[in-house]
Chains A and B, each alone.
Chain A
Amino acid sequence: MVKRKKQKSNMEELKKEVVMDDHKLTLEELSAKYSVDLTKGHSHQMAKEILTRDGPNTLTPPPTTPEWVKFCKQLFGGFSLLLWTGAILCFVAYSIQIYFNEEPAKDNLYLSIVLSVVVIITGCFSYYQEAKSSKIMESFKNMVPQQALVIRGGEKMQINVQEVVLGDLVEIKGGDRVPADLRLISAQGCKVDNSSLTGESEPQSRSPDFTHENPLETRNICFFSTNCVEGTARGIVIATGDSTVMGRIASLTSGLAVGQTPIAAEIQHFIHLITVVAVFLGVTFFVLSLLLGYGWLEAIIFLIGIIVANVPEGLLATVTVSLTLTAKRMARKNCLVKNLEAVETLGSTSTICSDKTGTLTQNCMTVTHMWFDMTVYEADTTEEQTGKTFAKSSDTWFILAQIAGLCNRADFKANQEILPIAKRATTGDASESALLKFIEQSYSSVAEMREKNPKVAEIPFNSTNKYQMSIHLREDSSQTHILTMKGAPERILEFCSTFLLNGQEHPMNDEMKEAFQKAYLELGGLGERVLGFCFLNLPSSFSKGFPFNTDEINFPMDNLCFVGLISMIDPPRTAVPDAVSKCRSAGIKVIMVTGDHPITAKAIAKSVGIISEGTETAEEVAARLKIPISKVDASAAKAIVVHGTELKDLQSKQLDQILQNHTEIVFARTSPQQKLIIVEGCQRLGAIVAVTGDGVNDSPALKKADIGIAMGISGSDVSKQAADMILLDDNFASIVTGVEEGRLIFDNLKKSIMYTLTSNIPEITPFLMFIILGIPLPLGTITILCIDLGTDMVPAISLAYESAESDIMKRLPRNPKTDNLVNHRLIGMAYGQIGMIQALAGFFTYFVILAENGFRPVDLLGIRLHWEDKYLNDLEDSYGQQWTYEQRKVVEFTCQTAFFVTIVVVQWADLIISKTRRNSAFQQGMRNKVLIFGILVETLLAAFLSYTPGMDVALRMYPLKITWWLCAIPYSILIFIYDEIRKLLIRQHPGGWVERETYY
C-alpha cells in the first residue's frame, strides 16, 4: 500500500516540468558543485567511484513483461474468462454427477475439456500473432554501441557512453550523439538537433551563456541522446541515465498505466450481457425444474448446463481471427499493429492528437516561396517534385540562384548521385541545405557553380551580425570578385542602396521598401523562415589575389544591390491535407500538439487543414473587427492556438473548456508532460484519443493514448515502444485507412456476433424442452460443439470480409457509451426472433423424424424417464412396436444429427441476413466470395459429419434421409423474408419503432 502510494507520487513528480538550476550557475559554482576541474576533468579514480555509485549511463529499459505473463494474459484475458468459467462449471457438474451416480454421462467432462482446449488454442494463436509483430519491433532496435569523448585526468579518451559519469568533462562535435545531459562551458558554432525532445524542427545553436530560465530553452544545456549537428562544444555532465531529461520522459512513459482498449471494454460489456441472460435463464429453469418435481441435484446440473449452453464457444476464436485478418490487411497498407485489440481502436477514435514535426511535415526544410522582381513566386514543395514552376527566365532569378548557391556552406554528402535530390543527405544547417537542394533542383549543379566561382573569403553567420557574406572570383571575368550576402531580410536591406528588377539595377526607393515590407510580412505570416539576398560586383581594384581580410574589413560592404527574398518551411507531407479532411468528414477532431513555435505551427495547421479555411482564432476575429480580444464572441472563434506557457497555468477544467469549445485546436511549444496532460484532458471528456508522434517527447502521450501511433522510419525507439501501432511508411494518410478498417471491423464483428449468437437459441431450447416436456434430448453436447466450433466458424469469420454498407468515413465516430458492440437489440434479434425461428425449425425436423419412426409428438411428452432407462428394452411407441434402449438411442442421435443439419440450413439464411444491418441483401449483393465459401464449407462439413462411415461410433452422428434436410428450408425462407421486411421498415421509417427496437 505504502509502496503504491510512493509510486503514485513518483509519477506525479515525473509529470511535472523539469527543475534544474545548473544552467544558472557560473562556471566556478559548477566546478564546485561537481568537484571537477574544468580543464582536466575527473581523475580516473574519481570517475570509477562515481560510476560504481551512480551506475552506468543508460536508460533503464522499460520493464519487459516476461513471456509467460504475456501468454497468461492471452489465456485469461477478456473473453477467455467466460469460457474458463464455463469449463469449470462443467467440471463441477461432472464431479457432482460422479459423486452421486456411478456411471454418469461424460458430456459435461467432454464439454469442459473442449472449452479449455478452445481457450488454450485461441490463446496460443493470438500470442503467436503478437509475438510476430513484436519481433518486427525488435528489428527496429539500434544495437550499435555509442562512444563518447571525455577528458579525464587531463587526457582525452574515447569511452563507451555507458561509462560516462556525473561531472565528466565531455567534448562533442558535429555528428555526435550527446552522451548525457551537458552544461556547456565552451562552444564553437555548436548546433544541436533537439527535435526528438522538443519537436522543434530546426537545429538550435548552443553556447556557454545562460539565456533562459527554462532549462529546455536555455542555450547552455545539451540533452542526452539529442544530436549535435555541427560545431564543437565542451561541457560538464550534469545528469546521466535515468535522471537525464530524456530518461525522465522514458520512465514517465514506462510508468504510465495503460487503459483498456475500447474493444476490450466492448467485450466486457458483452460478457456482462451474456452472463445476465445465462444466469436469468438458468435460475428460471432451475426453479421450474424444482417445481416440475426434479431433485435438487438434477436441478443444479440443469442450472449449470443451461448457463454453460449460453457460452458461445466459437466466438472467441472468431473475434481473434477477424481481428488478425484486419491486422494483416492493415499491415499490407503499412500500418503495423502491435496489439491485436488496437486494430479496432482507430475505428472508435474521436480525437487525433498529432505531432507536427515528422508526422504532418516532412521534417526537412524546403524552399517554398521567393520574392523577386516585386512578385512572390511559389516553389515546388511536393515530396515528388511534381508541382508548378515559376519565372525562371528572369535575370534576377539567375543572380538570386547564384547568391543562394555560392553564399552557402552546405554540401551534399558523397556518393549519393543515384538518389533524387530531395532525398540526398547534406552537411550543414537545415536552411542552407534547403537552399542547396532548391538551387540544385531548379537551377543547376551547385558544385559546378562553386568550382567556377571559387570562394576567396567569407564571414560566417553569427547571431549579432545576422548575415553571412562570401566573396568569390567571378566566372565571366576571372580578375574581378563578386560579394554575395544573405541574412535576416531587414539587415540585408540596410546594406543595400539599389535593387534588382528584371536584371536591371534601380536605386532603392520608398515604393520598393514598402513592397519589401509587404512581402516580408506575407511570407513571415505563413510561418516561414525568410532570408534576404544581395550582392555587389567589387570594383576591379580588388582584382585576383587581393588579400581580403574579414576581421578588419578592407573592402566595401555597403551600397549593395538587393536581389530578393527566399522563404522556407518544413512543408507538410503531400497526403496530409487530404487525410485531415477525411478525418474531419469522419467526425474525428484533429488537434495539433507540437513543441514548435506557434506561428510555424499555425501556418502548418492552416496548410494541412487542421485550422480550416475561413475559421478564425479569437485574435484574428479581433484584428478583423478591430476590437479588443476580450470582446470577441466565443462562438465566432472556433479555432485556437494555445501556447505551452499558458497551458502550464491552466486548471484541468479550463483545459476541458478549451477542448470542448473549439473545433480546431493547435497546441504549440508544449513539453512532453503537457502533451500527456492534453491527452488526459481529451480522455476526460470521453473521447477516444489517438496520438501520432515520432519523438521521445511524444512517447508519454503515445502510451497514455487509447492508441499511440508511431512513425516507422523517422520515429525514435522510445516512441515505437510506447506506441500501439506503427506507420511503416510514416504516412499520416495510413491513419485514414486504419480508421476505415477499424470501423469496418467493428461493424463486421457485430454481424459476426449476431450470426453466432443466433444459433445459441436452437442450441439451448432443446435442453430446456428436455427438462420441461420430458422429451428425448433433441440436441446433444457433441452436436452443439460441432455447430459452435465447426460449421459456424468459417461463415462467422467470412463476415469479417464483408464490405461496408454505406460510406463509413462519412459518419461520426461511435459513442463508446451508447453504441456498443453488443446491445440489447442485438440480443433481442438474435435470441428473441431469428433464434426462435431456428429453434422451431429444429424441433420440426426432430418431430418429423421421431414421428416417421413411430413416436408421435404427443406420446413423447413425459417419456424421458422410460426413454433413458437402460433396462427398459421394450419401450412401446405409438404403433405398439417395442424398442430396445440402443435402438431408440440411435433414433435419438439421428434426430440430433438432423437437428444439427437443420441449424446449418437455417444458418444459411442467418448468414445472408447478417450480411447487412440496414440494407437489403439484394442491395448488398453476394460479392463476398469468402462468405459463399463459408456456406459451402458449412454444408459440406455437415454432410461429412452425417454420412461418413464410422461417425456413428465416433460422434454418434447418423446418416439422414434427404427429405430430412428439406424440413428446414421453409424456415430458412421465413427467416430471410422476415428480416428483409424488418430492414425495409428500418429503411423506410428512419428513427421509427422498428429501428429503435431492432437495429443493432
Chain B
Amino acid sequence: MRRQLRSRRAPSFPYSYRYRLDDPDEVNQNYLADEEEEAEEEARVTVVPKSEEEEEEEEKEEEEEEEKEEEEGQGQPTGNAWWQKLQIMNEYLWDPERRMFLARTGQSWSLILLIYFFFYASLAAVITLCMYTLFLTISPYIPTFTERVKPPGVMIRPFAHSLNFNFNVSEPDTWQHYVISLNGFLQGYNDSLQEEMNVDCPPGQYFIQDGNEDEDKKACQFKRSFLKNCSGLEDPTFGYSTGQPCILLKMNRVVGFRPDLGDPVKVSCKVQRGDENDIRSISYYPESASFDLRYYPYYGKLTHVNYTSPLVAMHFTDVVKNQAVPVQCQLKGKGIINDVINDRFVGRVIFTLNIET
C-alpha cells in the first residue's frame, strides 16, 4: 500500500528545475563562462503544490514511521540483528503462511524425494549390474591374482596380540594364557581328528590332485604328535613351567604356492641382535625343521576344506633368563624371500623372549 502511494506521488517534485531556451542570455550562459551565475540563480526550485489529501496521507505515513522507529528503538539495539536472523531462520525452517518446510512445500518435497529415490534406485541397479559382471569374471575357487600375497608370510603361536613373550616361570598366571592359546590352536591337530578327516599321503612330494576346480580336495594329515615335546601331550604346559617355552611357527597359506621341489622350506631361529649365545639350544619338531612338500599345493578353502597348515615347533630349551632376548625365525629355501624391509612378517618373524625365574 505504501509503495503505491509513493509511486503516485513521485512526479510531484523532481521537475522543479527548469531552463528556458528562449532566454538568449541563458542559452549563452556558457559563453566564456561568465554568465552562469545569473542562470544559476534563476534555476529556482518550483514546488508543485500538493493536494490536501496527499499531504494528509504523507503525514500519516510519517507518523507511522515514527512509531515504528520508536518501537525498534525500544527493543534491544544489539540483539535486534540476531533476533531478525533468528526469525529468518525460523521462517526458513517452517513457513506457516506458505506451508513450507526448508523453503519447499510438501508437494515439492515429495516430488524431489521421489525423483532422488528413483535416481538412486537406478544407480543401485547400475552398481548391481556391474558387481554381477564382476562375479562372472571371478572364479570362486582360485583367486585371480596371488602376487600380492606371495611370498608367504609367517606367523607364530601362541598369538597374544603381542610379540613379546614375558612370563615368570614360578608364576603360572603369567604364562597360563599361552598354554590355553596353544591348546586351543592344536585342537584341530589332534591325532584322532586328523586320522579321521585326512589322508596319510607320501612325504617328500607334492600332493597334487588333478580334476575339476570345483571337486573337493583331500588334505594331508599333520598330527599333533609330530610336535613331540611341544605337542602338549607329554608336557601340558608346553615347557612354560620349566622356562623352556615352545613356540609354533606356521607359514601363511597361499593358493597354489609350491616350495621348490626336493628342497623343503626350513625354519631356523637365532638371536636377532645381541649375543648369539643368549640362546644356547633350540629343538625343532618335526626334527627336520621343515614344512614337508606333501602339504602343498593349497587349493583354496572352498574345495580344500580340511586343509591343515603344517607347523614347525621351536623348543627354546636353553635361553638366557631374566633378560629380553630378541629372536628372529626365518624360512630358508629356494624361492623364499625373508628380508623384505617393509614387511617383517614375510619369510620371517621376530619376537622377544623374556623368561624370568
The chain A residues found within 8 Å of chain B, CB to CB, are: 200, 202-205, 211-212, 217, 219, 429, 431, 461, 463, 466, 487-490, 520-521, 524-525, 529-531, 597-600, 617-619, 629-630, 632-634, 637, 640-643, 645-646, 649-650, 653-654, 657-658, 661, 669, 832-833, 836-837, 840, 843-844, 847-848, 851-854, 856-857, 869, 871, 873-874, 876-887, 890-891, 894, 970, 974, 993, 997
Contact = CB atoms under 8 A, between A and B. Distances in A.
Interface string B153-175: 11100010111000000000000
B288 to A, nearest CB: 23
B291 interface: no
Interface stretch (B229-237, B276-284, B338-346): B338-346
Contact of B33 (A202, A488, A833, A894): A202
A882 B33 contact: no
A524 B127 contact: no
B82 interface: no
Contact of A204 (B33, B116, B134): B33
B111 A205 contact: no
A848 B134 contact: yes
Interface in B26-40: 27-37, 39-40
B45 interface: yes
B199 interface: no
B134 A840 contact: no
A324 to B, nearest CB: 35
B72 to A, nearest CB: 17
Given A881-B143, A883-B252, 15 more contacts: A520-B24, A632-B15, A643-B17, A661-B11, A832-B116, A844-B127, A852-B138, A869-B161, A874-B155, A880-B307, A881-B298, A882-B253, A882-B254, A887-B148, A887-B346
Contacts of A852: 138, 143-145
Contacts of B149: 853-854, 877, 881-883, 887
B201 interface: no
Interface centre among B28, B37, B135, B154 (most CB of A within 10 A): B28
25 contacts: A217-B37, A461-B32, A488-B28, A489-B28, A521-B22, A597-B36, A597-B39, A630-B12, A643-B17, A646-B45, A654-B14, A836-B120, A847-B131, A852-B144, A853-B145, A853-B146, A854-B255, A871-B161, A879-B142, A880-B304, A881-B143, A881-B300, A882-B149, A884-B343, A997-B112
B273 interface: no
Given A490-B24, A881-B146, A886-B345, A630 B116 contact: no
Interface in B240-289: 250, 252-255
Contact of B7 (A217, A649, A661, A854): A661
B255 A881 contact: yes
B143 A879 contact: yes
B18 interface: yes
Contact of B342 (A646, A881, A886): A886
B33 A203 contact: yes
A847 to B, nearest CB: 7
Given A490-B28, A658-B14, A873-B155, A525 B33 contact: no
Interface in B1-16: 6-7, 10-16
A2 to B, nearest CB: 17
| 9 residue pairs, one from A and one from B, having the closest CB atoms | A880-B301, A884-B153, A524-B27, A886-B343, A882-B252, A634-B11, A852-B144, A884-B345, A643-B17
A885 B345 contact: yes
B19 interface: yes
A836 B122 CA distance: 12
B81 interface: no
Nearest to B250: A874
B121 interface: no
A619 B21 CA distance: 12
B126 interface: yes
A642 B43 CA distance: 11
Contact of A205 (B22, B30, B33): B33
Contacts of B298: 880-881
A220 B351 CA distance: 103
B83 interface: no
B156 to A, nearest CB: 9
B68 to A, nearest CB: 14
Given A525-B21, A886-B345, A629 B15 contact: yes
Interface of B: 6-7, 10-19, 21-22, 24, 27-37, 39-40, 43, 45-46, 48-49, 111-112, 115-116, 119-120, 123, 126-127, 130-131, 134-135, 138, 141-146, 148-149, 152-155, 159, 161-163, 250, 252-255, 298, 300-302, 304, 307, 340, 342-346, 349
A487 B34 CA distance: 12
A557 B45 CA distance: 42
A857 B128 CA distance: 12
B300 A879 contact: yes
A847 B135 CA distance: 11
Contacts of A844: 127, 130-131, 134
A223 to B, nearest CB: 15
Contacts of B154: 873
B149 to A, nearest CB: 5
Contact of A646 (B10, B14, B144, B152): B14
Contacts of A837: 123
A431 B32 contact: yes
A81 B100 CA distance: 33
A639 to B, nearest CB: 11
Nearest to B154: A873
A622 to B, nearest CB: 8
A599 B131 contact: no
A525 B6 CA distance: 33
Given A848-B134, A881-B252, A657 B29 contact: no
Contacts of A650: 13
Contact of A843 (B18, B127, B342): B127
A401 to B, nearest CB: 21
A619 B19 CA distance: 9
A642 B343 contact: no
Nearest to B139: A879
Nearest to A634: B11
B40 to A, nearest CB: 7
B58 to A, nearest CB: 11
Contacts of A879: 141-143, 255, 300-302
Nearest to A874: B155
Contacts of A645: 17, 40, 43, 45
B345 to A, nearest CB: 4
Given A217-B40, A853-B145, A887 B343 contact: yes
Given A212-B37, A646-B14, A884-B345, A970 B130 contact: yes
Contacts of A463: 32, 34-35
A559 to B, nearest CB: 22
A524 B28 contact: yes
A487 B31 CA distance: 8
A529 B31 contact: yes
A853 B148 contact: yes
Residue among B13, B33, B342, B349 with most chain A CB within 10 A: B33
Contact of B6 (A633, A657, A853): A657
Contacts of A843: 127
Contacts of A204: 33
B258 to A, nearest CB: 14
Nearest to B162: A871
A104 to B, nearest CB: 18
Nearest to A529: B30
Contacts of B254: 881-882
A851 B138 contact: yes
A890 B17 contact: no
Nearest to A837: B123
A524 B144 CA distance: 95
A848 B10 CA distance: 72
Most chain A beta carbons < 10 A, residue from B15, B155, B255, B298: B15
A466 B112 contact: no
A816 B53 CA distance: 38
